[in-house]
Structure 1
Amino acid sequence: MALFTITEACTGCGLCVAACPASLVRQAAPGETPTALEGREAHCIRCGHCAIACPTGAFVHELLPAEEFAPIRRKDLPDFAAVRHLLDSRRSCRTFDPAPVPRQELLSLIDAVRHAPTGHNTRDVGYVVVDGPARMDVARQGVLDWIAGEVGAKTERARELHLAGAARAAGKGKDVIFRGAPHVVVAHAPDGGITPALDAAIACAWLEIAAAAAGYGACWCGYLIFALDAHRPLGEMLGIPQGRKGYAALLLGRRAARPLAIPPRDMPPVTFF
């Protein structure tokens, strides 16, 4: 099967050739109709960049049906100032309304980040949503069990993360693990993936911004991330599929109180090479 076909609307501009990250679209000379590199169809990462680069719609990808492409509504895109304000106003939330978020709303947030970039366009990030107080209690106890083990063994990680203090606070009834959030979302990816940790982190970063735009609070759950890395049975208990690992975790829910201002942040150091 040919990887793509070119209709007579093609002008030979070569934009599809330049757009293909795997160099599977070739053009013998400027102005000529592009052709597929023979025998390399399996190398296509299905990013669709070749098709969307064509200004005349002449490029038809056999693996990506044309009807599944959505038009870009440029009038609906926020300007830079609006995006900058959203990013600046994002704050980690550590005081949550305990009421759970409806599952459909959680699914809507995750659906909104399905275009988050992944290494080699593998798009192989999955999610486990810990849903409801009883399940959060189970997950919390799993993290506390890991903390107790680290503290008991007097590990370097226990010292670095002040885990003994966290254990004491938890023993007094303070939820230092989940901060009263009704949900935690774990992003998981294959152990043997190309860039699994980065893919999961990017996905959660996008999810945090999407949550902020939708009016929800979110916070990176460091204790759970560390525990998932060090104690594989915790991931299995949460339902992370075999062969995959939880690399990022985000507390999620409605804020108990909305921030009213943006605190100052220094400009990071920048050098030009």
Structure 2
Amino acid sequence: MNELRFFVDERKCIRCGACVRDCPAQILKFDATQHPAMVEDGAKSCIRCQHCLAVCPSGAISILGRDPMDSQRAGAEPAPEAMLAQIKMRRTCRNYRKEAVDADTLHKLLGMLDWVPTGVNNHSLDFAVVDDPAVMDEIRAEVNDRVLAMMKMDPLPPFAARMERYRKQILAGRDVIFRGAPHLIAVSSKADSPCPEIDPVIALSYFELYAQTLGVGTTWCGLAAGAFKVFPKLRQRIGVPDGYELGYVMLFGPTSLKYPRATQPGKVRLHSVK
């Protein structure tokens, strides 16, 4: 036992060595009885990925106080064809019903975030979720009022200039930024984390695909992310913590639209490196 609470149940261990081979930090070894053990000062290098717990075929390893019997067992993963179909059918939603996602679905969707991967298993992301449509309407009104005021300036400020093609729609009062969505999720990362730019994007990619399985529409919203970055008070409004930088924003909510077929995109540029 140690500060990581790494424990091997020798009654279950089959001494296969999978945990020793799979440890990303290379801090496991075989002891004199050929059971896995942690090297001296190994806790300092552990990234707490729990690979040792996950890879053990007999459930003999516990770490960080986690009981392997509480982990989901392999075998429930979607077939490759089903996963590919899910990716092909992914669409951006810009037509939302004026109602909240039901509590059970929201609980499932947000609960999934515990499993999103991050660089070096850092897991320090902050998720700001607007789960109340009334609060969403307040934020929508504040952002739209600020942008509308910008659009009346001459010359246009840089952020407003990015939205020049939407100017007529914004001046007409259309909700160009939030598309009537009842919810949003904003992801922020610590400035000193290993991968602050990409971690929020990875998290929202997982969020989007899982949302689709639950019948929830999503929109990658660069305009909302831009607005929050331009207006400090809006970042305070959604509670971005000190020391964190806003990464990206995704809108989500119930939608009446159904897509009976996938699109037919052109081929990506792909080459083999020799």
Q: TM-score, normalised by structure 1?
A: 0.86
Counterpart mapping for 1:119-268 below 5 A: 119-144=119-144, 145=146, 148-149=149-150, 152=153, 154-159=156-161, 161=162, 163-268=163-268
Native 8 Å contact 1:146 1:231 kept in 2: no
Matched residue type, 1:22 = A
> Secondary structure in 1 aligned to 2:114?
coil
Native 8 Å contact 2:99 2:133 kept in 1: no
Take 1:85 and 1:220, find their aligned partners in 2: how far apart are those partners?
20
Change (3 A) 1:33 1:180: same
Native 8 Å contact 1:127 1:188 kept in 2: yes
Question: Cα distance, 1:266 vs. partner?
Answer: 1.6
Cα deviations by residue, 1:105-164 (Å, 9 ceiling, x for unpaired): 2221111232111111122223222234432233224433257548845355544x3x13
Matched residue type, 1:195 = C
Question: Any stretches of 5+ residues in structure 2 without a counterpart?
Answer: none
Correspondent of 1:18 among 12, 21, 37: 21
Correspondent of 1:66 among 51, 65, 68: 68
Change (3 A) 1:62 1:93: closer
Take 2:7 and 2:136, find their aligned partners in 1: how far apart are those partners?
51
The answer to whether 1:87 aligns with 2:87 is: yes
Q: TM-score, normalised by structure 2?
A: 0.86
Question: Cα distance, 1:48 vs. partner?
Answer: 1.1
Change (3 A) 1:41 1:233: same
Percent identity, please: 28
Take 1:109 and 1:56, find their aligned partners in 2: how far apart are those partners?
30
Bigger mean CA deviation after superposition, 50-59 or 107-116: 50-59
Change (3 A) 1:132 1:32: closer
Take 1:11 and 1:260, find their aligned partners in 2: how far apart are those partners?
49
Question: What number of residue pairs does the alignment pair up?
Answer: 268
Native 8 Å contact 1:186 1:248 kept in 2: yes
Cα deviations by residue, 1:226-263 (Å, 9 ceiling, x for unpaired): 22233333211122223223312111111132122212
RMSD over equivalenced CA pairs, Å = 2.5
